[in-house]
Structure 1
Amino acid sequence: MKSHTTYKKLIAKTVILSLLASLAVAFIYGVFIKKRAIDDLARVDARKTSRLAFEALYSAMEKGWSKEELDAIIVRLNKVEPNMRINAYRSPIVAALFGDREADKNIREHDSMVMSAMKGEEILTGDDEIRYLYPIVVNQECITCHTNAHVGDINGVIDVRFPVANLKISLTTMINSFIIFFVTFTIMIFAILYFRLNALLVQPINQFIGMIQEIISKNDMAKRVSLKTKILEVKNIESHFNKMLDSIQDYYEKLQELSDRDYLTGLYNRRKFEEFLTYEIKRSLRHHHQFTVLMIDLDNFKYINDTYGHASGDLVLKEVTSIFASNLRNADVLARLGGDEFAVLLPETPYENGYAVVEKLRSRLESTPISLMFDQITLTASFGIAEYPEQGENIESLLTGSDLAMYKAKRAGKNTIARADQSDQEMAAEIQKKGEFLRRAIDDDCVEPFAQPIYNIQTGELFGYEVLARIRDGKRYMAAGQFIEVAESLGFAPKIDQIILTKGLNARGHKGLWDKRFFFNLSTKSLFDGAYVNVIQAHYGKDPKQSNSGVSIEILEREAIHNVNGLMDIIEEMKKIGISFALDDFGSGFSSFVYLKYFDTDFVKIDGEFVKNIAVNEKDRIFVKHIHQIAKEFGKLTIAEYVEDEETLEVLKEIGVDYAQGFYYGRPEPLI
């Protein structure tokens, strides 16, 4: 196992290393200065001293002093500087003329350096003690007295000795030496810091950045970072980053699964089913074989939800899934498109064989009882068949054909099988019939606003209402799900929106609910038409005491996906005049998180499919928790839908969700 060091230890080691290196440089430089002092400074000082000694002796000799008096001068000179010794030795030329001295003769014969100096060589030696031998060269003036000498001869040698410690170094030399040492030390410190930090810190960080860029560019969540470094902090960054990648990869895989699979039944969703269908079209085109697409819609499933509750409805969907799956081949693709609608792809299966499979599914579903609470129910479904390539050669035509066939089966009395017909006029007639019904409902003022209360989960106080469209048909009311698609396809949706918005706001003012927020659902055309703005502003003007607030528009993913940029501009403009927005059914589409990023909404309404089973389903609880946390990070309030019991409410309260609506708080009721 590699040992690692901390950043503090690295700095400490670097400083100590730099200090040791600088001390080594200082020592080497000190030796150099000392050598230079011996070679240069000592020579200058010794020559100067020798010259002074010679001049003193020469001055005395000019006056005719005896050799005893000259020795006395030498003694006095040695007293001037106690640590310095000066001696003068006669050469053989002087000894021959003025007489020799035994000491001088002994020195000349046994001291090799004196012998060299007598030949005219200037000598400087010594480590701890400096010895300088200065030869006295005969010049023209000396010949007057030294008649036996010639110019250039050596008359004697002055021997000067003193300790190295007595050398006097000039101030300039000291300053220059200090500057050189300081500059060298600084350069060395920075060089060591640069190379050490570059190798142990900068290079690993650059490597880290490069790996992150590679992960981003290749979208490779399986890749992990591995840094070559001895610094513990950098290694910890690597470890924590890899752990974060583990979490992201796990979350990404879960999201990928959610994007491919229906969370309730585990079946493929519409998007994945369309991928399989695209692949099968290409394969069939290449190999020239037929295949069949089935569209299945459960009969009277709304009755089960209304009678037994959504939890029981979910149980039924799972049982139906099991029945269908157990009667299909491994190669067949079963998908849940949404609600109680299923689809099946039968590869390499012509219509005749496909019809037999459908009849088997219909019969098994009809004959299999499903246990529900203290009761047993039997369920039927309507089946539509489309064959490739007879009923369609692309995805759109195949899905539309099987869908039309399924509606034909519904109209035929349910629990039946129908085949798509390209010239099917019955569906058009059905749509026209519904269109006439909507037109009469609008003309007869049968479009009514219903309101479902929204409560603050934490305080239990009433926060506001979601206003829903209903059509009065005799003594019963039709929910929006029964007519909204036809209304949008025939262009009646904006008119219905205008009626619900106007009646809803009038009821708010009439009942004095100015402190309650009202949420409205608008179609795509209404959103971009902008007529609703005048209605809302007129509503604000009815009570001058109230500020421009309290009205929110809910946005569905199917509205947002067609014009993201345009909707962003609308939200920005409407917020300036006090109209807020909410993302509805958040989490139902894989792109919901993208809209959270771009749309500046105030509220996020968590899709009820994730909420209704939160008390018993850990996955739903995790999903709601993360939606709430992400919404909070973006500064948005959360509203949970489909809250039908106290257990669900308690879980939402624990998570921290802000508001809730559902049967537990109240069903939609007429607002006027």
Structure 2
Amino acid sequence: MQSYTTYKRLIAKTVIISLLASLSVAFLYGLYIKKRAVDDLARIDARKTSRMAFEALYSAMEKGWSKEDLDAIILRLNKVEPKMRINAYRSPIVAELFGEHSTDKQVREHDPMVLRAMKGEEVLTGDDEIRYLYPIVVKKECISCHTNAKIGDINGVIDVRFPVANLKISLTTMINSFIIFFVLFTIIIFGFLYYKLNSLLVEPLKQFLLMIQEIISKNDMAKRVSLKTKILEVKNIENYFNKMLDSIQDYYEKLQQLSDRDYLTGLYNRRKFEEFLDYEIKRSLRHHHQFTILMIDLDNFKYINDTYGHASGDLVLKEVTQIFGSNLRNADILARLGGDEFAVILPETPYENGYAVVEKLRSRLEGTPISLMFDQITLTASFGIAEYPEQGENIESLLTGSDLAMYKAKRAGKNTIARADQSDQEIAAEIQKKGEFLRRAIDEDRVEPFVQPIYNVSNGELFGYEVLARIRDGKRYMAAGQFIEVAESLGFAPKIDHIILTKGLQRREEKGLWDKQFFFNLSTNSLFGGEYVDLIQSHYARHPKGASHGGVTIEILEREAIHNVNGLMEIIEKMKELGIAFALDDFGSGFSSFVYLKYFDTDYVKIDGEFVKNIAVNEKDRIFVKHIHQIAKEFGKMTVAEYVEDEETLKILREIGVDYAQGFHYGRPELLGS
């Protein structure tokens, strides 16, 4: 297992090493300076002393002094510096001509240093005491007296001895030496520190930045940082960054799954299904294959929701998913398009084979009882088949053909299989008729905003209104449930949303209801259009008191949000910055509601009326409402209860602590100001 150090330890270690290195180098360099000074200065001083002694002796010899006179001169020289001793030894050449000195012969024969000097070598030796032997070389002027010698011979040796302490070291030499030492040592220390910091800090950080750039450029959330380091803090950065990447990757994968799949059933959603359909069309065109697509709509599913509740309806959808999935091939693509509508792609499957698969699905669904609370139900579905390329050669025509076939199966009595053909115009005409009705209603300005009041539960004051779409048809008004599905399928929903939002905001301005909150139901297609942001901002700009924002809330439905979770999260974030609030509508109707509470930064949670309307008589519904309210509060959301139809229900909501409520007890939807 690799051991790591900390920056604190590294710095302390570096300082201590640098200090020890400095002291060691200074000590060694001091010894070197001392040795060099002793060698150089001893040689210089000894040479000077020897020359002085020689010159004194030579001057005496020129005057004809005797050997005793010369010894007396040497004695006097030794007295000048008591700790310094000077001796002069004659060479054999001088002894031959002028006579042998009593001790010279013995010294020449037994002192190796003198022997070396007699051969013409300057000798410097000694540690505590310096000994310098200076050979006297015969020169031209010496030959007149020393007739038996020739130039270059050695006439004698001057032996100078003195203690090291007597040396006078040059101040300039010392200063220059230490300047050079300081500069060189500083360069070495800084080089060492640079190497350490570069290898232990800079290089790991460079690796870290390069890996981050690679992760960003390749959008590779699976890649992890690996740094070559022995520093604990750098290793901790690596570990924590990788843990952060783990969390981001997990979050990204969940968002990707929400973007591609239906959260409740785990099946592909409409957007992903259309991608697969486009791919299959291209593949079949290239290889000349036929394939079949199915549209499946559960029969009487609304009855299950109304009778057993939306939570039970979700369980049924999961059971149906299991039944369909277990009776399809691995290559077949099963998707939930929304609500109780499913779709299947059967690759490389012509109509005849596809029909056999559909009949198998139909019979298995019909023959599989589904346990629901204390009851068992049998479910059926209507199946529509379209074949490529017979019923269409592109996504739009295939989807339209399978939709028409499904409607045909519904009209034939449900629990049947139908195939659209060119002569089957009845259903298409019906859809076209409804579309024409919507188109005329929009063109003739018969789309009107109705409002239902929302009250503060605790003090009974009017809090705001939910704005609802209605179509005026003669003297009556059609509720949204009668036309919204066709509007969405034919692409009229964004136009209707625009009209309701425009008129609703206009009525708010006309009535001066700036202090009331207005709730609008906008489809996600409308939200992604972007023009509604400008519409709301213009409304805010007309506030009589110059308020910059506030008062508009957009409600999000689960069936809308499920198709593009990623994009919707971004839209909510941007629009909230502009003062636009958001509410989760029909909260609790599906298991995915709690997931959206986690990911969507909404301001309000509207509790599904299916739980609210029976809380006075149903203890389970009361528990549901209570816990939904508590969870919403934990997330910092305000709660709005729907379907409040009597005083007893309102009283229970007040005890629970629900913030706001709407329903027939407070007022039915109506034209604002009517």
TM-score range, shorter chain: 0.7 to 0.9
1:650 aligns with 2:630: yes
> Take 2:585 and 2:553, find their aligned partners in 1: how far apart are those partners?
18
Q: Structure 1: which 5+ residue stretches go unaligned?
A: 558-582, 632-636
> Take 1:456 and 1:95, find their aligned partners in 2: how far apart are those partners?
138
Q: Deviations over 1:270-306 (max 9, x none)?
A: 3443455455546655776644322122345445445
- Decide whether the 8 Å contact of 1:129 with 1:161 is kept in 2: yes
Q: Which moved more, 1:343-352 or 1:448-457?
A: 448-457
Q: Structure 2: which 5+ residue stretches go unaligned?
A: 612-624, 643-657
Aligned to 1:595: 570
Measure how far apart 1:648 and its partner are: 1.6
> Take 2:460 and 2:248, find their aligned partners in 1: how far apart are those partners?
36
Aligned to 1:447: 448
Distance 1:272 1:587, change over 3 A: closer
Measure how far apart 1:370 and its partner are: 5.1
TM-score (norm: length of structure 2) = 0.76
- Decide whether the 8 Å contact of 1:74 with 1:87 is kept in 2: yes
Q: Deviations over 1:285-337 (max 9, x none)?
A: 57766443221223454454455543233233234334444555665443211
Matching residue within 612, 620, 631 for 2:588: 612
> Take 2:67 and 2:527, find their aligned partners in 1: how far apart are those partners?
133
Aligned to 1:575: none
The amino acid that maps onto 1:650 is Q
Measure how far apart 1:382 and its partner are: 3.3
Matching residue within 597, 600, 603 for 1:624: 597
- Decide whether the 8 Å contact of 1:298 with 1:382 is kept in 2: yes
- Decide whether the 8 Å contact of 1:208 with 1:225 is kept in 2: yes
Aligned to 2:547: 547
Give runs of aligned pairs for residues 351-390 of structure 1, distance below 5 A: 351-355=351-355, 357-358=357-358, 361-362=361-362, 365=365, 372=372, 379-390=379-390
1:182 aligns with 2:182: yes
Distance 1:257 1:22, change over 3 A: same
- Decide whether the 8 Å contact of 1:267 with 1:334 is kept in 2: yes
Measure how far apart 1:164 and its partner are: 3.2
Aligned to 1:670: 669
Alignment partner of 2:88: what SS? Answer: strand
> Take 1:588 and 1:333, find their aligned partners in 2: how far apart are those partners?
17
Aligned to 2:123: 123
TM-score (norm: length of structure 1) = 0.76
Aligned to 2:503: 502
> Take 2:230 and 2:539, find their aligned partners in 1: how far apart are those partners?
70
> Take 1:162 and 1:320, find their aligned partners in 2: how far apart are those partners?
114
Distance 1:319 1:468, change over 3 A: same
Aligned to 1:342: 342
Q: Deviations over 1:565-615 (max 9, x none)?
A: xxxxxxxxxxxxxxxxxx996564154278359946435747658x5268x
- Decide whether the 8 Å contact of 1:587 with 1:606 is kept in 2: no
1:435 aligns with 2:436: yes
1:86 aligns with 2:86: yes
The amino acid that maps onto 2:130 is I
The amino acid that maps onto 1:162 is F
Alignment partner of 2:180: what SS? Answer: helix
> Take 2:523 and 2:258, find their aligned partners in 1: how far apart are those partners?
28
> Take 1:585 and 1:452, find their aligned partners in 2: how far apart are those partners?
24
The amino acid that maps onto 1:176 is N
- Decide whether the 8 Å contact of 1:586 with 1:604 is kept in 2: no
Measure how far apart 1:264 and its partner are: 0.9
Give the total of aligned pairs: 632
Aligned to 1:576: none
Aligned to 2:254: 254
- Decide whether the 8 Å contact of 1:392 with 1:398 is kept in 2: yes
Alignment partner of 1:393: what SS? Answer: coil
Measure how far apart 1:190 and its partner are: 3.1
> Take 2:540 and 2:286, find their aligned partners in 1: how far apart are those partners?
62
Q: Which moved more, 1:443-452 or 1:102-111?
A: 443-452
Aligned to 1:297: 297
Alignment partner of 1:102: what SS? Answer: coil
> Take 1:230 and 1:45, find their aligned partners in 2: how far apart are those partners?
57
Alignment partner of 2:661: what SS? Answer: coil
Across the aligned residues of Structure 1 and Structure 2, the Cα RMSD in angstroms comes to 4.8
Distance 1:450 1:104, change over 3 A: same
1:171 aligns with 2:147: no
> Take 1:238 and 1:338, find their aligned partners in 2: how far apart are those partners?
43
- Decide whether the 8 Å contact of 2:521 with 2:555 is kept in 1: no
> Take 2:93 and 2:286, find their aligned partners in 1: how far apart are those partners?
127
Distance 1:305 1:451, change over 3 A: farther
Q: Deviations over 1:72-96 (max 9, x none)?
A: 5544543444432222334556667
Distance 1:423 1:68, change over 3 A: farther
Distance 1:157 1:373, change over 3 A: closer
> Take 1:136 and 1:22, find their aligned partners in 2: how far apart are those partners?
46
- Decide whether the 8 Å contact of 1:121 with 1:135 is kept in 2: yes
Aligned to 1:110: 110
- Decide whether the 8 Å contact of 1:463 with 1:517 is kept in 2: no
> Take 1:413 and 1:269, find their aligned partners in 2: how far apart are those partners?
28
The amino acid that maps onto 1:335 is A
Give me the identity figure in percent: 64
> Take 1:372 and 1:475, find their aligned partners in 2: how far apart are those partners?
39
> Take 1:365 and 1:30, find their aligned partners in 2: how far apart are those partners?
99
> Take 2:214 and 2:148, find their aligned partners in 1: how far apart are those partners?
98
> Take 1:255 and 1:3, find their aligned partners in 2: how far apart are those partners?
39
Alignment partner of 1:160: what SS? Answer: strand
The amino acid that maps onto 1:310 is H
Q: Which moved more, 1:163-172 or 1:517-526?
A: 517-526
Measure how far apart 1:140 and its partner are: 7.1
- Decide whether the 8 Å contact of 2:471 with 2:478 is kept in 1: yes
Distance 1:460 1:230, change over 3 A: farther
- Decide whether the 8 Å contact of 2:87 with 2:159 is kept in 1: yes
Distance 1:606 1:253, change over 3 A: farther
Measure how far apart 1:152 and its partner are: 6.3
Alignment partner of 2:159: what SS? Answer: strand
Measure how far apart 1:338 and its partner are: 1.0
> Take 1:96 and 1:149, find their aligned partners in 2: how far apart are those partners?
10
Give runs of aligned pairs for residues 20-419 of structure 1, distance below 5 A: 25-26=25-26, 29-30=29-30, 32-57=32-57, 71-91=71-91, 101-118=101-118, 120-137=120-137, 156-216=156-216, 219-278=219-278, 280-281=280-281, 290-302=290-302, 304-306=304-306, 308-325=308-325, 328=328, 332-347=332-347, 349-355=349-355, 357-358=357-358, 361-362=361-362, 365=365, 372=372, 379-411=379-411, 414-419=414-419
- Decide whether the 8 Å contact of 2:555 with 2:583 is kept in 1: no
Measure how far apart 1:114 and its partner are: 2.7
Q: Which moved more, 1:7-16 or 1:371-380?
A: 371-380
Measure how far apart 1:178 and its partner are: 1.4
